[in-house]
């Protein structure tokens, strides 16, 4: 039985929407949660495969293999990772920021952006539950991701400065940012290659079908659960990149370089180990 981590956010829906869960249930059990919890579950060996924060792969890259061509990335604005701030971003040095406890990638991305690109060295960070009002009660700004960020952006941000971290990253690096990767444990790949291939193929097929449909059917389903309107969700999915090609990989390796230089990752992750299905493992530098 393969234990599969399923991120609870809409941003991964294209992979899951058309999956044949009944056929997959013969060998797979789905475990839905927020990214930070799935990152821990992967590190502790409680899941075998699934989408995790790209930062979590960087922490554990020696034990993990990446699934080919699956990711949650953006080339510019991502639409669901926002810093909501009372002050302009240029003025945040010496201030305090509340970070959602759901994230690993975006929280470090924010720190990197503020240190490297704005030169802010004195920010006080607190990690807490993603509740907008609570986060801003005692802090000058807050970082939300996923559906929490989308909902807060709809509801709350009057009088606030709102920054999209995908956009800020692109502005300074001209590179895409990869927020989530699909990773599996080396040991699970050795034990269950066929089940993992079936999962990979279903994720890829689902994503391709959703994209070919212009995300219309998927957007209908999301409106029913989350509100908003159909064009909003279609645009959201079209803005996100769900492929993991050379250009996303280079952007991710650059993120790992900066994360190491700033002391957030103990090792310099200078390669990605990607499964070349049927062929072995490919090292990408
Ligand atoms: C695009 C997003 O990416 C998510 C951000 C993550 C993180 O910050 O650790 C993890 C998984 C991704 O699904 C989002 O949350 O909106």
pLDDT on residue 73: 98
71 lines ligand 1 (CB under 6 A): no
For residues 194 and 278, the answer to whether their CB atoms sit within 8 Å is no
For residues 1 and 43, the answer to whether their CB atoms sit within 8 Å is no
Any idea which residue has 């692109």 for tokens? 170
Collapsed DSSP state (helix, strand, coil) of residue 141: strand
Predicted confidence (pLDDT) per residue in 28-77, tens digit: 999 999 999 999 999 999 999 999 999 999 999 999 999 999 999 999 99
Q: What angle do CA 145, 149, 150 make, to 5 degrees?
A: 125
* Alpha carbons 115 and 198: distance in angstroms, whole number: 42
- Nearest atom in ligand 1 to the alpha carbon of residue 39 is 9
Strands 64-74 and 240-241: antiparallel
For residues 148 and 130, the answer to whether their CB atoms sit within 8 Å is yes
Provide mean pLDDT across the span 164-178.
98
In the CATH hierarchy, which top-level class contains the domain 2-74+177-284?
alpha beta
Closest-CA residue, ligand 1 atom 5, reads: 179
Fold of 81-173: D-Maltodextrin-Binding Protein; domain 2 (3.40.190)
Predicted confidence (pLDDT) per residue in 210-231, tens digit: 999 999 999 999 999 999 999 9
| CATH code 3.40.190.10 region(s) in the chain | 2-74+177-284, 81-173
Residue 53: strand pairing partners: 180
* Alpha carbons 101 and 264: distance in angstroms, whole number: 16
- Nearest atom in ligand 1 to the alpha carbon of residue 12 is 13
Which of 277, 280, 259, 279 lies closest to 268 in space, CA to CA? 259
195 lines ligand 1 (CB under 6 A): no
The mean pLDDT of the chain is 97
pLDDT on residue 156: 78
206 lines ligand 1 (CB under 6 A): no
80 lines ligand 1 (CB under 6 A): yes
pLDDT on residue 157: 66
Provide mean pLDDT across the span 128-140.
97
């Amino acid at each position: 039985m393969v234990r599969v981590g399923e991120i609870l956010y809409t941003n991964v829906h294209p992979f899951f929407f058309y999956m044949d869960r009944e056929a997959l249930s013969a060998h797979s059990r789905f475990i839905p949660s927020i990214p930070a919890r799935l990152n821990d579950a992967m590190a502790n060996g409680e899941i075998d495969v699934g989408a995790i924060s790209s930062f979590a792969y960087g922490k554990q890259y020696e034990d993990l293999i990446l699934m080919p061509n699956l990711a949650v990335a953006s080339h510019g604005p991502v639409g669901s990772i926002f810093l909501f701030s009372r002050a302009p971003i240029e003025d945040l040095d010496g201030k305090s920021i509340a970070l959602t406890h759901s994230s690993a990638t975006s929280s470090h991305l924010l720190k990197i952006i503020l240190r490297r690109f704005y030169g802010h060295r004195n920010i006080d960070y607190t990690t807490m539950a993603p509740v907008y009002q609570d986060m801003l009660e005692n802090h000058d700004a807050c970082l939300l991701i996923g559906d929490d960020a989308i909902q807060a952006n709809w509801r709350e941000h009057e009088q606030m400065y709102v920054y999209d971290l995908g956009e800020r990253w692109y502005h300074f690096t001209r590179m895409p940012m990869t927020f989530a990767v699909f990773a599996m444990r080396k040991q699970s790949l050795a034990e269950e290659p066929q089940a993992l291939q079936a999962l990979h193929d279903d994720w890829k097929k689902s994503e391709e079908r959703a994209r070919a449909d212009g995300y219309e059917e998927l957007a209908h389903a999301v409106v029913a659960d989350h509100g908003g309107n159909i064009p909003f969700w279609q645009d959201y999915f079209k803005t996100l990149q769900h492929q993991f090609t050379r250009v996303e990989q280079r952007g991710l390796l650059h993120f790992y370089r900066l994360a190491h230089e700033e002391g957030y990752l103990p090792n310099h992750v200078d390669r990605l180990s990607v499964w070349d299905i049927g062929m072995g493992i490919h090292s990408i530098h």
